Chain A
Amino acid sequence: MTAASSTKRDYSLVGESTRRAIETGLASAEWYHTDVPRKTMKELMQRSDGPAIRDTIIWVVAILGSAAGTVWFWGTWWVVPFLFVYGVLYGSSSDSRWHECGHGTAFRTRWMNDVVYHIASFMLMRNPVQWRWSHARHHTDTIIVGRDAEIAVMRPPDLLKAALAFTGILDFRYSLPTLVRQAFGTLSDDEKSYIPQMEQHKAVIAARWHMVVYAATIAVAIALGSWIPLVLIGLPRLYGTWHMVLTGLLQHIGLADNVTDHRLNTRTVYMNPVSRFIYWNMNYHVEHHMFPMVPYHALPKLHELIKHDLPVANPSMWHAYREVWPVLLRQLKYEDFYLKRELPPTAKPYRGEFHDLDITAAAAE
């Protein structure tokens, strides 16, 4: 670890950090990529409808089955396991479907990606237009402060907020009012900074459609005198989010910011098969960021191919959280502190010009 003077980060997308990122060339920069022969990469990038159709059928059947169980056992304790499954499928697995279909890599057929993308966006209370653009920015400027709109844990870390994220309360409190605001035609300055003007009206229309469905759900709940419609549509965003947070937080938490090498700011974690199904292999996150064209079902193969050039993957979620916890505690006091992950001897070393910036000056190895 190296001592350094603390730099206050401004996470708005139109502030001091934004100006600094643009001036220093961090914005829209050239990123490090592991060398992969074109022929091999072309094979890995190939699209196929088969795996995603199979997984989507399983996903839809599981959602409908657990919803049916919830309705059937409503009012008894037997409803709990069905709600548990339904909540995770609705509130967590929708995130990876949103993500993969947003990239357009899950299915070969474009309309299939679009249909699942819009359904998953609704389940997550995410404006599909806004989030398509925010995610493009996330890939251009991954964890670049002042540029990346999707930094989950900012520095110094708010640990209470991070803990509450598992309940979905904070996200719900943010997402729903955001959609309402957008439905009334108002986009924030941050949103305008990454949604091109010609697309902004589409974001308003999308928010209005989401509002229509929620209004209809509330109307049905009132008409039936039942909570069930709300428990099945909308509220899973509260009680089913925990798995999305559990896996998603690990993508970048505690690692470097303001660098242009995904090996420094992104984490790959080995996970159990159930979590990998829910997460659609996004645990191979360094690989995904380096090569976003590779579909989720080819990521394990890509991982095997390039792991010689990446930090050793965390063997489990537990291991990753144990590793990052002391880093977060340290960041409470020194926000420049981060976990610098060691590369294997077979890897190309981190290049100074990619990450030796004064903003990131303290590291634990």
Chain B
Amino acid sequence: MADWVEACAVDDVDGEDVIRFDHGGRSFAIYRSPDDQFFATDGFCTHEQAHLADGLVMDDIIECPKHNGRFNYKTGQAKGAPVCVNLRTFPVKVEAGKVMIDIG
């Protein structure tokens, strides 16, 4: 069942960047791609406890700040060692200048 929550305003995230969003004891990463689309994933790397919001967004890739593990933030796919487990992604929509994610 869908559970849409407001994560941030559109302008809170720079182009080709990521911010952290915490809600209900969970942590998420909200991305803005170079072509101004928004995406959301779990906040923490699946390798070790590092928050991806401190990482680097390059095209479709988020690179973890701790060990440089890379994921495709659009699909959650882990792109190779040291990350082997995919990242969970969440549906995103933009409404009235707000970025909404479905955390259900």
User: Using a CB–CB distance below 8 Å, which chain A residues touch chain B?
Assistant: 28, 42, 45-47, 103-105, 108, 110, 129, 132-133, 136, 139-140, 196, 198-199, 291-293
- B93 proximal to A (CB < 8 A): no
Residues of A within 8 A of B63 (CB): 104, 293
B55: A residues at CB distance < 8 A? 293
Query: What number of A-B contacts does a CB cutoff of 8 Å give?
Result: 44
Given known pairs A47-B58, A293-B56, the reply for A133 and B82 (CB within 8 Å) is yes
- Chain B interface mostly: loop
> Of A28, A45, A199, which is within 8 A of B48 by CB?
A28
Contact of B66 among A47, A104, A105, A139 (CB under 8 A): A139
B62 to chain A, nearest CB (A): 11
Least CB distance from A128 to B in Å reads 10
- Chain A: which residue is nearest B56 at the CB level? A45
Q: Using known A-B contacts A42-B56, A45-B56, determine if residue A292 contacts B66 with beta carbons closer than 8 Å.
A: yes
> Which residues of the other chain, B, contact A133 by a CB distance below 8 angstroms?
81-82
- A139 touching B67, Cβ below 8 Å: yes
B68 at the interface (CB under 8 A from A): yes
Chain B positions 45-64 with a Cβ under 8 Å from a chain A Cβ: 47-49, 55-56, 58, 63
Contacts known (A139-B66, A293-B68); A132 close to B56, Cβ less than 8 A: no
Smallest CB–CB gap between A296 and chain B, Å?
Answer: 13
In the complex, the answer to whether B17 meets A129 with C-beta atoms within 8 Å is: no
CA distance A28 to B47 in the complex (A): 11
Given A105-B68, A110-B79, A136-B81, list of 12 further CB < 8 A pairs? A42-B17, A45-B56, A104-B63, A104-B68, A132-B81, A139-B67, A196-B84, A292-B65, A292-B68, A293-B55, A293-B65, A293-B68
* A139 to B56 Cα, complex, angstroms: 18
| Contact assessment for A108 and B58 in the assembled complex, using a CB-CB cutoff below 8 Å | yes
Known: A42-B17, A45-B56, A140-B48. A292 touches B84 (CB 8 A): no
> Residue on A with the closest CB to B50?
A140
Nearest CB on B from A239, distance (A): 32
Q: How far is the CA of A291 from the CA of B56 in the complex (A)?
A: 12
Q: Does B32 contact A (CB under 8 A)?
A: no
| Minimum Cβ distance to chain B for residue A262 (Å) | 13
Q: How far is the CA of A47 from the CA of B56 in the complex (A)?
A: 9
Q: Is B70 an interface residue (CB 8 A)?
A: yes
Known: A104-B70, A139-B67, A292-B67. A28 touches B49 (CB 8 A): yes
**A146 CB → nearest B CB, Å:** 17
Instruction: Evaluate contact between A103 and B68: CB separation under 8 angstroms.
Output: yes
B77 CB to closest chain A CB (Å) equals: 14
**Residue ID in chain B nearest A195 by CB atoms:** B81
